[in-house]
Structures are given as structure tokens and as C-alpha cells.
Amino acid sequence: MTPEEMMQVAIEAAETSKTPYGAVIAKGNQIVEVAGNTVLTEHDPTGHAEVNVIRKLATKLGDRSLEGYTLYTTYEPCPMCASACVWASISEIIYGASIDDFEDYNPNLIDLRCKDVIQRSPISIHLKGGVLLEQCKHLHDVYPIE
């Protein structure tokens, strides 16, 4: 699968969760786990798609280290999710829309970018945004932002 095809699966996970947020984890060109956002459905403030997909895969594998894996997410990870990627030793984060891709800044965000967290972390994580950007931005028109 191409990065765009991986992101398409993350978009479908967002749609399934009826939020703008979906994530997948891949090893090489194979998707190994998928999750959407469960903040509202499970009343879990930590239930962001990235945290959910990391928890699901690591506990399934019985290994807290996901070194060598790539996380795809429809939206730039917040500081909670960026930190979760660090603690999971994720090797690469690929996201769709970034905070700065929206003209109107959302005042309900924590004003730290994913790269700010990664740069201050003890590991090196490759970071890339803008994959299927317009489709990921469009999710915010369809589903409410939390």
C-alpha cells in the first residue's frame, strides 16, 4: 500500500468514529492496526485516535515498543498523542492536516506543535504532514471538532 492508501484507511476510521480523527499503524507497507477517536462514545478524554491505536497494537503484541512502525493520522498529533508516540518508540509519524492548515485557529487546542514535542524527546521520529491534506481537512467540515 502507498502512504496515500494508508491515509485513506485512517480517513475511513475517522468517518466510522464520526469524528475528524482516525489513525492506523503500519509496518512497511502493511497496516497492522486501526482506530478512531472514542472521546465521546466512551467518555474517555484520552481516547484520541493515536493513543487508541498505540494501546491496541502494543497490548496485542505484548510489547510496549513499537520501534520500526509508522503511525498515520488524519490530523497533526496533539501533545498527548505526540508524547504517546515517543513513549511507544514509534519511528515515523505521517499526518494529513496540521494545526496551521486551518485559517481560523482553534482556541481549544494546546499551543504546542507535534514537532515541538518530538524535538524535545530522547528519540528521533521522522515527521511528515500534508498527505491527503484536502480530504483530511474536509473531515473537519463534516464532523464536529472536539
Catalytic residues: 50
121 touches its own copies by CB under 8 A: yes
Residues 15-54 interacting with its own copies (rule: CB under 8 A):
39-40, 42-46, 48, 51, 54
* Residue 31: how many other CB atoms lie within 10 Å: 16
For 96-134, give one letter per residue: b (16+ CB within 10 A) or e. Answer: bbbbebeeeeeeeeeeebbeebbeeeeeebebebebbee
The string of DSSP codes covering 57-98 is: HHHHHT-S--TT-EEEEEEPPPHHHHHHHHHTT-SEEEEEE-
Region of 14-22, 96-104, 118-126, 136-144 interacting with its own copies (CB under 8 A): 118-126
Report the sign of the C-alpha dihedral through residues 24, 30, 33, 35, in that order.
positive
91 binds its own copies (CB under 8 A): no
Q: Which CB sits closer to its own copies, 39 or 131?
A: 39
**CA dist., res. 33 & res. 143, Å (int):** 23
Question: Per CB under 8 A, which region of 2-10, 26-34, 111-119, 129-137 contacts its own copies?
Answer: 111-119
* Least distance in angstroms from the C-beta of 20 to its own copies: 15
Binders of its own copies among residues 71 to 90 (CB under 8 A) are: 78-80, 82-84, 86-89
User: Which residues of this chain interact with its own copies, rule CB under 8 A?
Assistant: 39-40, 42-46, 48, 51, 54-55, 58-59, 61-66, 78-80, 82-84, 86-89, 107-112, 116-117, 120-122
